[in-house]
Structure formats: C-alpha cells, structure tokens
Amino acid sequence: MSAAQDFVVKDISLADWGRKELDIAETEMPGLMACRDEFGADQPLRGARIAGSLHMTIQTAVLIETLQALGATVRWASCNIFSTQDHAAAAIAAGGTPVFAVKGESLEEYWDYTDRLFQWPDGEPANMILDDGGDATMYILTGARAEAGEDVLSHPSNEEEEIFVAQIRKRMAQSPGFFTRQRDAIRGVTEETTTGVNRLYQLQKKGLLPFPAINVNDSVTKSKFDNKYGCKESLVDGIRRATDVMMAGKVAVVCGYGDVGKGSAASLAGAGARVKVTEVDPICALQAAMDGFEVVTLEDAAPSADIIITTTGNKDVVTLDTMRTVKDMCIVGNIGHFDNEIQVAALRNLTWTNIKPQVDMVTFPDGKRMLLLSEGRLLNLGNATGHPSFVMSASFTNQTLAQIELFTKGEQYQNQVYVLPKHLDEKVARLHLDRLGARLSTLSQEQAAYIGVTPQGPFKSDHYRY
Ligand code: NAI
C-alpha cells in the first residue's frame, strides 16, 4: 500500500468482479434500494462519519453504498479475520471508500484495521459506530477507560486479548487522549448481532455505556430472519464448500436452539442429516423436541456424531474432553459470533494438517482425526460467503434506519440500548414482500377495531413473539 492509499485490501484488481456481484446483489436487496429512493434526496446522514465494523462481504458493500447515498462518510473493517470477500473489499476500495479488510488477515492486522476505522484523514473523530459483535465499540470504550486510569489492560486472559491490549497501548502512546476524544464524539452505536447486543446490555447494566445504542439484532426482521433463515442457507453451504461431505444420513449435533440453532438444525435436516440438538434452556429444548429433533447432551451424542456445530454465543461449549471422544473424521465447526465456543486453543499442541484455507485436520495422539472448520470461527462466513443478499437486505435496512435515527435524533435518547419501533420493523418486512410476489391482505376498519389495531398497523403488541 502506498502512503497515498487509505485502504488495505488483498488485490485491487478484483474490483471489477466485485462490482459485477454488487450489481446483482442490489437486485436482491429491495429494502436497501428503497432506502436510497426514500431518503436519498434528503441526505439524512450528511455529516455522519461512520466507523463500520462488519463482515466485508458483497452484501455489506451494498449497505456501505446505501449509507453513502444518504450522505454519510464511512470507514470500514471486517469484524472477523476470515469473513472478508476480497472482491467486495476491492470494489469498495476502488470506489474511494477507506476499507481495511483481507480474508485471512492476522489478529494483529485485525486490531490495526479496527484502529484505522477511527483514523480519519482530517484528524477529526468518527461520530457513529456501526458494529457487529461489539469489537469497535469495545476498542474505543476500553481505551477510554485505560486513559482514565482504570486498570483494564493489565490482565489479558489469552493471546487474542494480549493483541487487543497491545493495539490499545500502541494507540495511547502514539496519540494521547485519542480514545476519550473519540468516545465523546460518538452519537450512537447500532449493533448487528446477538453477541454484540449482549455486550451492550452488560455495559448498560454496569453504567458504562456512554452513548445510546440501537439493538438491530432484536428487530424481528433481523433475528427471526437473518439468524434463522440466513443460517438455514449458509450453514450447509459452508460445510459443503469446506468438505464436500455427503450429509444425507449422517448424524449432526447442533448445540443451541436459539434463532441461529433453529436455522442451523433446519439447514442440516434439509440436507438429509439426522439432527440432534443440545440446549440448556428448557423452552428451547422443548421447541427442538417438538420440531422433531432428539434433545441430547453433547457428551452423550458426540461419540456417534459425524458433524458437530455450535450455535450458542457461549464459550467452552465444545470442550477438549468432548473432542477427544468424537469419531474419526468428525467435522467440528462454529456458527456463533466468537471463536471461543470450541476450545481451539487446547488443540494447538496436537498435529494440524492444513487441507486448504480455513479447513484443518487435527490428529489426536491415538491417531483419530477431526476436521476443524475456520479454526473455530464462524464457518458460514469463513468457509462460504455468509447469508444470501435477500435476507441481509432486511438486516441492513434495519441498520440503515437505526443509523438515521441515532444520527438525527440521538439527543432524544438516553445512554441505553433501544430496539427500533414496531412500525419500522413492519416497514422493513413490507419492503421485501414484492420481490417474493407476496400479496398482503388488508384489515377492514371493523376487523382492525375488533383486534385492537389500526388497518395500517402496527399489527402486534410489543410483547408478541412471532
Ligand atoms: P440465541 O440466544 O437466540 O440462541 C443461543 C442458544 O444457545 C440459546 O437458546 C441458549 O439457551 C443456548 N445455549 C447457551 N449455552 C449453551 C450451552 N452451553 N449448550 C447448549 N445450548 C446453549 O442467540 P442467536 O441469535 O441464535 O445467536 C447465537 C450466536 O450466533 C451469537 O453469537 C450470534 O451473535 C451469532 N450469529 C451468527 C450468525 C452467523 O451468520 N454466523 C448470524 C446471527 C447470529
């Protein structure tokens, strides 16, 4: 990269290919295109300086260009070291957007790129964060707490945290007061995923959230679609691209039966696998059982499993002890946000044979082999290309509406976590019906009055669960 270039991508010559796929994606992202039509003239994001940390895929490229069409200036990095689509990053960089994302980047590079989200050429800070998993937010907030003299850097618990801490220390040495200035300039954060939202609620609970946040994940048109129907398509896609294994007839265990687990179990069942589910929550366990899946413990099921997929957003779900019991050539992967669901660190001293990027065969001392996907990072983005455009359009339309809301009305919000109002959720869904040829029925005034709504909606109370 030359000094004049404000981007890092694998190969800028991939831009043409990326642009062609972007053009196709636009035809499958009606919600984002409708946002451009509806808000383009008003430019509600003029003056927004968005630091975006979200998988740098083709679909994200359409989101980036939508935010720009509404007036925003953006800088972008991927929120996972394996999830970037290099042609998408190239297309975005070629269009003049500072993007820092390479599929297979190192963790040092990952945190350097996250830092570069906040290094605007004019030296001014970002004023919005668009986050997926919370890393960009945690980077700024942890740095600001360190600058305030809090002891938040001295006890990294693993190698990844050491790298994170080293990056913060480096920035503190280079630019004293940077994190505090940056934190104070942020009007709000919009967060994409379950794990990032959990982090935000924890910050709110501890009184450590210094700006308002919108929980995009819990828009119904996000978590009940992206997490579920998205994984239904992209989980098996990832396993197939990684292994080409025949799935019909195989035994697959899905850990967790939340939204991602439901989509993942459906994905594997659709491929003909015999699916078993593990859960800690009796409600989700009952749902799994009544959806026709055997509910088991991983300890019991692992020795007969051909495929084990964890979807929990929790840590230490697939332990070393469990992996010792799996059969030869069992496929083990994660589709939750962080890589701590599988105890990958505990496998490092075994024999690893790299089959191809993001596919490793790990051999145990007794000769038993296990196929590990994406080194335990989310495999649908590491081994395949994530969810299809159509479902990401619903997610990213929520993101766009949330950015507009916090950028234009941030001062009306407390430093808390909010979800978008139901009428906007319904609007996002409405924007996606035409593409599927779906025709809505209309309530008469009498029918609407009878069920206590208006014919225009919202059609459900806030406590309705879908
Ligand atoms: P969720 O909260 O709806 O579901 C997680 C489920 O795992 C819960 O039902 C919980 O009871 C269960 N669970 C927790 N610990 C467990 C354990 N030790 N054993 C068995 N079950 C356990 O969360 P959601 O929305 O399904 O998200 C899960 C993860 O996937 C999060 O990290 C989220 O950020 C990520 N995600 C990944 C996507 C992808 O494309 N790869 C897309 C959307 C979300």
ipTM reported for the complex, 2 dp: 0.99
Residues of each domain in the chain carrying CATH 3.40.50.1480: 12-221+386-425
Residue ranges of the binding site for substrate: 57, 132, 192, 222, 226
Residue 202 and residue 179 in contact, taking contact as beta carbons nearer than 8 Å: no
Mutate to test the pocket of ligand 1, among 79, 82, 193 (most ligand atoms within 8 A of CB): 193
Q: Which atom of ligand 1 sits closest to the CA of residue 387?
A: 40
Read off the pLDDT of residues 19-54 as tens digits, 9 standing for 90 and up: 999 999 999 999 999 999 999 999 999 999 999 999
CATH topology of domain 229-383: Rossmann fold (3.40.50)
3-state class percentages of the chain: helix first, strand second, coil last, to nearest 5: 45, 15, 40
Kindly state the DSSP code that residue 378 receives in the 8-state scheme.
B
Q: Is the peptide bond before 458 cis (omega within 30 degrees of 0)?
A: yes
306 lines ligand 1 (CB under 6 A): no
pLDDT of residue 300 exceeding 80, the answer is yes
Q: Please name the fold of domain 12-221+386-425.
A: Rossmann fold (3.40.50)
Cβ(227)–Cβ(192) under 8 Å? no
- pLDDT of amino acid 1: 44
Say what the pTM is.
0.98
Residue to substitute in 222, 260, 262, 316 for testing ligand 1 pocket (most ligand atoms within 8 angstroms of CB): 260
CB 267 within 8 A of CB 333: no
Ligand 1 atom closest to residue 337's alpha carbon, by position in its atom list: 32
Q: pLDDT by residue (tens digit) across 345-389?
A: 999 999 999 999 999 999 999 999 999 999 999 999 999 999 999
Catalytic residue from among 399, 403, 405, 427: 399
Residues 202, 203, 209: CA angle, nearest 5 degrees: 150
- CATH 3.40.50.720 intervals, the chain: 229-383
Q: What is the pLDDT of residues 261-279, one digit of tens each?
A: 999 999 999 999 999 999 9
Ligand 1 centroid, distance to 402 Cα (angstroms): 23
Distance CA 109, CA 294 (A): 42
Mean of the per-residue pLDDT values of the chain: 97
